[in-house]
Chains A and B, each alone.
Chain A
Amino acid sequence: MRRFSIRLTLSKVAYPIAALLLIGAGLLILFPANGAQLFQRSLMLSNNQPGANSIYKVSFTINTPSTLGSIEMLFCSNSPINGDACQAPIGLDVSNAVIASQVGETGFSISSDTYANNLILTRTPTSSLAIPVSYDFDNVTNPSTNGSYYLRIYTYDSPTPSPPATAIDFGGLAFSINSAVNISTYVPPFIRVCVGVTISGYNCNTANGDYIDMGTLTSTRTSAATNQIVVATNASNGYNLSVSGDTLASGNNILPPLNGDISRPGVSQFGINLTANVAPSIGSNVQGPGVGIVSSAYNQPNFFRYASGDVIAHASAPADNNKYTISYILNSSKDQPSGVYVTTLTYVGTGSF
């Protein structure tokens, strides 16, 4: 509340103007006579949503050291100015408020005179200092609509508020009720399986090639090759990575799949594993930050196996990227019928959400 005082010196010729001004001044609403203004007035809300249950922290600095018996906090929707009619904010309810804390001048309880938009603190009148005070009130119901609202604070020397004109100190403030920012988003179920002869890092966009030519088989050496698979999922129970497809065949002739054996040149064999091997020197252990692991049957160095439908790797929890290197070995006996041996293997990642 501010007052502007304008002083005019009037000449006789200005009397008519002065008369009009005086009449106008007489029409002004006069402020009730209050004491000094409370300083540093603020109202902090824990929740400023319309209609929400909130904690109100009312803070101010007492201006006039005096006997202090009650503090009145009058909430209005139209004006913080003492003397103006107060319109109660719709929806606001302080009648069930409880004092959560009091700092500075203490010993107050909530008066039974409190009603929906008027919160009154009372105590046995005690002398007060000109100090900062703060009161937290739980269980206040906010006004029901967005907008600006006002609080008028009065201090009195009596335990029950007198007419506002008798207040020791007074101060108004404004506060705001606003809708919250509700943020939402959706994380979809996700599993990524990418297969290539090579993959750079974990970037599936770099997956390159889907065909492996293992050359001409001989009985004296093992033919070997690799490809790579990257798997990740946010499935809460992880994933299984399985392989399916027949062993290599040329017409009715096949290269028998291994059931966990080393590479034996001169013996017709087909097998895979997902670990680093020495004989032959091929393959790599699983890489990446994910929690995926290689199934034990395919995780023994230098031992190879192939059974269509086997789960070759898995994770039991959401798994970030893992890169698996699949090692293939082929051996051929001397009596292995000649021909072009081919197969198509399919790797399937299945998330368990």
Chain B
Amino acid sequence: MKGFRLKIKRSAYIATAFIATLAIGVPSLLGGSASAVTGQLQSRSITMSDANGADAGVSYKVGFTSSAASGSYTVKGIVVDFCSGDPIIGNSTCALPSGFSLSGVTVDTTTAPDTGLGAGWSVTIANSNRTLELTNATGAALNTTSVIFTIAGVHNPTAVNTSFYARILTYNATAGATGYVAGSENTGSAYFDYGGVALSTDMVVNITAKVMETLNFCVYPGAGSCGTDPSFTIGHAVGSATVIDSTAVDTTTIKWTLSTNANTGAIIRLQGDTLKSGSNSIAAAGASPATITNGQAGGGFGLYISVAGTNITKTSPYTGGSGSQYGLDTANSTLTFGSQLAQLTAATNGSISTVTYGATAANTTPAGTYTATHQLIATGTF
């Protein structure tokens, strides 16, 4: 090599986005051969789909434009030779980048954005899987329009953060490509256009974030908000007292808000009994949705989900039945873990449901203060 000039073409950096392109001036003074060199390929780039070292199955999108000064010619052979050391055409040393391989690659010349070459190109891999030789006896007319083709199935060099290079040459005879030898590029026939490209492997950036398991559940009065005590006195005013009697079915509402990222949502259970005053009690609405009528025998006390929040599925007998029917299955709601009131069917944010309680007393319901403690317990399954 008697001499050459080196030129860094900054515009190519931008054009190739992720691939630093190093434009190498052709050694116009290359020794000897009857060169048919017409000019340097313009806008050369090789875009890698994955630059991580040692990754396999990577696609390399090769792009260039024939030298504007060279005019049109029919290209029948293209060589892309990958070297670890330099992109210099004419340098007889082109070592295989460690770990790099073109073995088994396919080349697409027709699927957009691939363009410029048309169909009918044959692929030959040479030089220990480092050199791609494309040939087409019919060829394609090259002018200043861009050429793009994609090499799929490339195995990247092993080392990360390491540069390697490609030498690209075009021929107007298939023998030129198949006879390609680094440093003796005109062995099969003289090449027409040429150019070098620099590539680099790198490391992927692994970013880790933590998302906690969450379950936020609060119960509050129907007219309140999270944090407000949901306890209430049910009844209507008689004098200064709030009472239930046989003249009415009194109602009160509470709400719950549930948010969780539990995979399968959550179960909302009710744990508690009917209204009791010592040994006296108000009859629970029961294990099936039932209408409570004022003054009914034994009185009546129950609840139902009057508004189901997002992703809430009501559980019988708390569905409301045919409308405003109540339930209170004390056979199960008084068990250790209570009974299911509703189910949140998926991870959900801010699902708000309303529960309506109803109560009435019979004529014979013994006088007294009746109380019940209901726990609404949400359990997420993560």
Q: A residues touching B (Cβ–Cβ < 8 Å)?
A: 1-14, 18, 21-22, 25, 28-31, 40-49, 55, 57, 79-81, 84, 146, 148, 150, 171-176, 178-190, 192, 232-236, 289-290, 317-321, 353
Contacts and interface: CB of A to CB of B under 8 A. Distances in A.
Which 10 A-B residue pairs are closest in the complex by CB-CB distance?
A182-B231, A318-B364, A174-B215, A12-B20, A11-B18, A176-B217, A232-B363, A189-B367, A181-B374, A9-B51
Interface residues of B, number: 84
A98 to B, nearest CB: 15
B380 A182 contact: no
Contacts, number: 257
B243 A187 contact: yes
Contacts of A178: 217-219, 375-377
Contact of B367 (A18, A42, A190): A190
A46 B233 contact: no
Nearest to A84: B210
A67 to B, nearest CB: 25
A186 B213 CA distance: 43
Given A46-B337, A186-B369, A187-B245, A181 B382 contact: no
A45 B271 CA distance: 10
A188 B207 contact: no
Contacts of A80: 212-213
A7 B361 CA distance: 68
Interface in B366-382: 366-382
B230 A9 contact: no
Contacts of B357: 183
Contacts of B367: 187-190, 234-236, 353
B382 A42 contact: yes
B208 A28 contact: yes
B378 A176 contact: yes
Given A175-B379, A181-B254, A47 B271 contact: yes
B379 A236 contact: no
A4 B212 contact: no
A184 B369 contact: yes
Nearest to B210: A81
Contacts of B338: 46
13 contacts: A1-B213, A22-B203, A44-B337, A45-B379, A47-B375, A180-B373, A183-B231, A183-B373, A188-B243, A189-B367, A317-B364, A318-B366, A320-B362
Nearest to B18: A11
Interface in B200-235: 200, 202-219, 227, 229-235
A171 B380 CA distance: 13
Contacts of B264: 40
Given A80-B213, A174-B260, A8 B204 contact: yes
Nearest to B234: A185
A187 B366 contact: yes
B238 interface: yes
B377 A44 contact: yes
B205 A8 contact: yes
Contact of B277 (A30, A187, A190, A233): A187
B370 A186 contact: yes
A55 B336 contact: yes
B297 A173 contact: no
Contacts of A18: 202, 205
